[in-house]
Amino acid sequence: MHPAPSVIIFTSLSGLGFGLLFWLGLGVLAPTGWVAFVFFVIAYLLAVGGLLASTFHLGHPERALKAFTQWRSSWLSREAWASVAALIVMALYGAGLVFFGTRIALLGWIGALLSIGTVLTTSMIYAQIRAVPRWHHWSTPAMFLSFSLAGGALLAGEIMIALPLLAIAGTIQVYTWIDGDSRLARSGTDIASATGLGTTGTVRAFEPPHTGTNYLLREFVHVIGRKHSRNLRVIALASGFGVPILLMLLPFSHMLAALAVLFHLAGLFASRWLFFAEAEHVVGLYYGKR
């Protein structure tokens, strides 16, 4: 899949933002006043910024409201609902903390649920796509959720929570790579089933339908070198999880915490880039590509 910057930024940042909101809502940390304000601003910048980024890849952002209509079947529509609901509920909850210094726990719990629910809906947008076997798996929501929770905790400065969650998220990440690498092959979809021509012999794509490129190739076929991908994985794992864990094991300092967050973010971007770039859409089979 084409690793579109807008989608990478959106999923990464909004995941972090909603993760932070989750922890805030849960009351694991219950700052008030200015401190709360700063936390909420950060969370909202990430979550809303991410959402805004996602509208960049819409052809007709002016019609975005229509995306709320199909919640019965569409995860994208559900995401729209969940995110708006989460943002509203958490806004109320945050207002309580910032302006009134009170924590309305029920509102927080609902907001937390909606926040993490938003991340789930986002992940389900990908996980539901059967045409991308690498994504079409429980590990996709598991990864999104664990990343969001770990990143949120990291942002919240909840080291004791962040440490194990980062470890778990890192593990899930490694699992998705290893298992994901063979999912296309295991999916049962190959050039033979794509063309129905497999019974006669080995099928090979000969001439593509057009010598030039097209929307499908630009959107779905992204070839990245094996070596390149291995290096990036190391970077994503080290930067996203290894380094932050190490940094947090050192005696606490705000500098280190900020550094941990930055490393995590860089790793997260790398991971997301790989999430898209390495995902093989089965349509590539028609072009003899992956």
Partner 1 sequence: MTQLPPPSSVKLGLVIDLDTCVGCHACVVSCKGWNTENYGAPLADEDPYGADPVGTFLNRVHSYEIQPDEGAAQLVHFPKSCLHCEDAPCVTVCPTGASYKRAEDGIVLVNESDCIGCGLCAWACPYGAREMDVAEKVMKKCTLCVDRIYNENLPEEDRVPACVRTCPAGARHFGDLGDPDSDVSQLVAERGGLDLMPEQGTKPVNKYLPPRPRDKAPEYDILAPYLEPVTDTPKGFVGWLDRALSALPGGE
Partner 2 sequence: MANGQPDLDLSPKISDEIRQTTCYMCACRCGINVHMKAGADGKKKVAYIEGNRDHPVNKGVLCAKGSAGIMQVNAPSRLRAPLKRVGPRGSGEFEEISWDEALQIATDWLAPLRAEAPEKLAFFTGRDQSQSFTSLWAQSFGTPNYAAHGGFCSVNMAAAGIYTMGGAFWEFGQPDWDRTKLFLLFGVAEDHDSNPIKMGIGKIKERGARMIGINPIRSGYNAVADDWLGITPGTDGLLILSLIHCLMKAGRIDLDYLARFTNASCLVNEDPDSPQNGLLLRDEEGEPQVIDRRTGKLAPWNGAGVEPDLSATWRHKGVTHRPVLHHMADRYLSDDYAPEAVADRCGIPARRIRAVAGEIARVAFDEAITLDREWTDFRGVTHKTMVGRPVSMHAMRGISAHSNGFQTCRALHMLQILIGSVETPGGMRFKPPYPKPATAHPKPHCKVTPGAPLDGPHLGYPHGPDDLCLTDDGRPARIDKAFSWENPMSAHGLMHMVISNAHAGDPYRIDTLFMYMANMSWNSSMNTSGTMKMLTDTDENGEYVIPRIIYSDAYSSEMVAYADLILPDTTYLERHDCISLLDRPICEADAVADAIRWPVVEPDRDVRGFQSMLCDLGARLGLPGFVNDDGSQKYADYADYITNHIRRPGIGPLAGWRMGETGLQDGRGNPNEGQIDSYIANGGFWMSHVPGEAAFYKPFNTAYQDWAVKMGFYDSPQPYIFQLWSEPMRRFQLAAEGEGVRQPPDHLRARIAATMDPLPIWYAPMSEALEDDGAYPVHALTQRPMAMYHSWGTQNAWLRQIHGHNPLYLPTKIWEANGFAEGDWARVTSPHGKITVPVAHMAALNEDTVWTWNAIGKRKGAWALDDDAPEATKGFLLNHLIHELLPPKGDGMRWSNSDPITGQAAWFDLRVKIEKAPAPAEAKPALPPIKSPVGRGPRSLAWKVGS
State phi, psi for 35 to the nearest 5 degrees: -60, -45
* Residue 226 in the binding site for partner 2 (CB under 8 A): no
Residue that is written with structure tokens 């937390």 in the block: 112
Under 8 Å between Cβ of 78 and 121? yes
* Cα gap 123→79, rounded to integer Å: 9
End-to-end CA distance of the chain: 9
Selected range binding partner 1 among 54-62, 86-94, 146-154, 227-235, rule: CB under 8 A: 54-62
Residue 188 binding result from partner 1, partner 2, none, given CB thresholds of 5 to 8 Å by partner type: partner 1
Q: Which of 213, 230, 231, 253 binds partner 1 (CB under 8 A)?
A: 213
- Partner whose footprint covers residue 168, from partner 1, partner 2, none (CB < 5 to 8 Å by kind): none
Binds partner 2 (CB under 8 A): choice among 59, 188, 209, 251? 209
Instruction: Dig out the tokens for 86 from the structure.
Output: 């989460």
Shortest CB 141 distance to partner 1, Å: 16
User: From CA 201, how far away is CA 282, in angstroms rounded?
Assistant: 20
CB of 106 to partner 1, least distance (A): 30
Give buried/exposed letters for 42-65 (b at 16+ CB in 10 A, else e). bbbebbeebbebbeeeeeeeeeee
Q: Out of 34, 138, 178, 201, which residue is the one contacting partner 1 (CB under 8 A)?
A: 201
List residues binding partner 1 (CB under 8 A).
Answer: 1, 57-61, 63-64, 66-70, 72-77, 80, 125, 128-132, 187-189, 191, 193-197, 199-210, 212-216, 218-220, 281-283, 286-287
